[in-house]
Structure 1
């Protein structure tokens, strides 16, 4: 796990590169989609964190110009707006829909929401060690396909092109999320481990890499406070602001956080 280079942020504890033992496990070929999550909600009548609170964070370009000034925004990041009525069913606000996004990742899910789905599906979330092992697909390069984000002058992931956060040229074909099987899979036949949406992990943020040799970070119930790890970057990642779409890159958010670029995939322990 990790890296010895200096391409990341020192506070993320990406290094030093550390040998970590990972027990056998299975992992979702894709992130959980809106179709998957809809089946879960239909079976359980589950209400997500965003639905309970009545708001969630939406990236500004998905909000009508005339309404942007009405909403609270994140201090120091005015491009994140707290939109009433935004949730997994209505990813950009109450008048939006997922009708044409059923094969896209479900978003606006908190750590508790992701764990609730996993419990229903008899699975769990990956640790960062499991996630990175799967994402690497057996390679030691910076990305699953090589050492350049646009290896061979091709787009291999859904990230931001242009001037972040104001102008996205959509060079990769997408301004928001992409269908989960867009782009070629990695060597383990897993789709979009890099880009598209951040993916929840079950361990807290700032865990040192060597700790994964002694702790599986099993969660008996969803935590109510604290920051937890997310991995993989999203369609909003750009080298000028968030260089965290690299394989060893690490990040984390508050466990109650919900937003239009945060999803998850499941694992099944195979011990």
Structure 2
């Protein structure tokens, strides 16, 4: 799955590729598509991790403690649909931390906006001078009536889709779509305070974190939290896919034509609609995708495994790289969404990881936050 950016608008109009290339990025930086990550300099000798909440520290409201562990990050051996960028599994040591029990909700995000006056990326006026830097030289400017603030919304197709790699068949640029209007101008969030907030670009998530004295989880933290006590299974509950409809909000039926709603929902579900994992975390599979702080780099897992060492509190790749789009600057998102289907992305698997560009805002992408012991003790 390629990243989907705000510039879908311009590229749709001019029939260019959806995944826009950053033409400002020097070719030398990607080494003609064969960029190699810098070797990890830290050789971990002491893999002791924080496993329990230190004395005198209490879990912040709405958060739970995730005990630190040394574990295998990445695809488990029995996962037959794991993608190459989930392999090979590699051992990491992660200190304990606090994590939001749920994805950040509309009510929580509204409180942030009310107190700060923050305007999300999807609500901002579009700067053509900035946008055209991402497009081939000479690209004609679309009419001003088209260059309006908006975001990407999902639409069903009328019939079967033979090419599931062409996601432009079910995504559309919708003027007026934002966190306040998740399905477009005719929609709103009234009565949906407990739904996960969506249409959140990376900088929107960071702004919320700064306000809340939180941060986004690393990919390793997110995976540790999702696994809970199931460190060697495909899903957070085990290996049984037959119970998926009872465990998470995903797409059931033929994607993207028919959703049977066997799990009770067609689009987003209120948080806590499904059972939590054994740490008390909800929606770690499905509902909406969640941002992490890690750069997406196709080669990262292979490079880390080649180090033959255990990384402690890994921060992910030092630079972004996507072999399908060497110019992309993307972050890792985790957890899957209500659009994930066995035939499409099956990203309700714990090790699943996808890339999305920094400016992406979509109706199935949100986030949750974490806090370390140091952050909490300083409050």
Same fold (TM over 0.5): yes
Q: 1-side partners of 2:311 and 2:189: how far apart?
A: 37
**From 69, 74, 77, the counterpart of 1:2:** 74
Where do 5+ consecutive residues of structure 2 fail to align? 1-72, 127-148, 159-164, 319-327, 375-379
Seen in structure 2, the aligned counterparts of structure 1 residues 268 and 76 have a Cα distance that, compared at 3 Å, is: closer
Question: Please, which runs of 5 or more residues in structure 1 have no aligned partner?
Answer: 66-73, 220-224
Matches within 5 A, 1:1-271: 1-5=73-77, 6-10=80-84, 13-52=85-124, 53=126, 54-61=149-156, 76-139=167-230, 140-151=232-243, 155-206=246-297, 207-208=300-301, 213=312, 215-216=314-315, 226-271=329-374
In structure 2, distance between residues paired with 1:185 and 1:4? 21
Residues 158 and 178 in structure 1, CA contact (< 8 A), matched pair in contact too: yes
The 8 Å contact of residues 220 and 314 in structure 2, kept in 1 or not, is answered as no
State the secondary structure of the residue aligned to 1:27.
Answer: strand
Change in Cα spacing, 1:21 to 1:76, as seen in structure 2 (3 Å) is same
| Aligned partners of 2:76 and 2:234 also within 8 Å | no
Query: Is contact 1:91-1:97 (8 Å) kept?
Result: yes
In 1, the alpha carbon distance for the partners of 2:317 and 2:355 equals 17
CA displacement at 1:4 relative to structure 2: 4.4
TM-score, with structure 1 as normaliser: 0.87
SS in 2 for 1:39: helix
What root-mean-square deviation, in Å, do the aligned CA atoms of Structure 1 and Structure 2 show?
2.3
Contact 2:286 2:348 in 1 (8 A): yes
Aligned residue for 1:167, secondary structure, equals: coil
Q: CA contact under 8 A between 1:150 and 1:156: conserved in structure 2?
A: no
- Report the Cα offset of residue 218 of structure 1: 11
Q: Name the TM-score, length of structure 2 as normaliser.
A: 0.63
Aligned to 1:71: none
Aligned residues: 253
Runs of 4+ in 1 over 4 A off after TM superposition: 209-212
Secondary structure of 1:147's match? coil
- Which structure would you say has the larger Rg? 2
Give the CA deviation at 1:24: 2.1
Instruction: Write the distance in 2 (CA, Å) between the matches of 1:236 and 1:228.
Output: 19
- 3-state SS in 1 of match to 2:290: strand
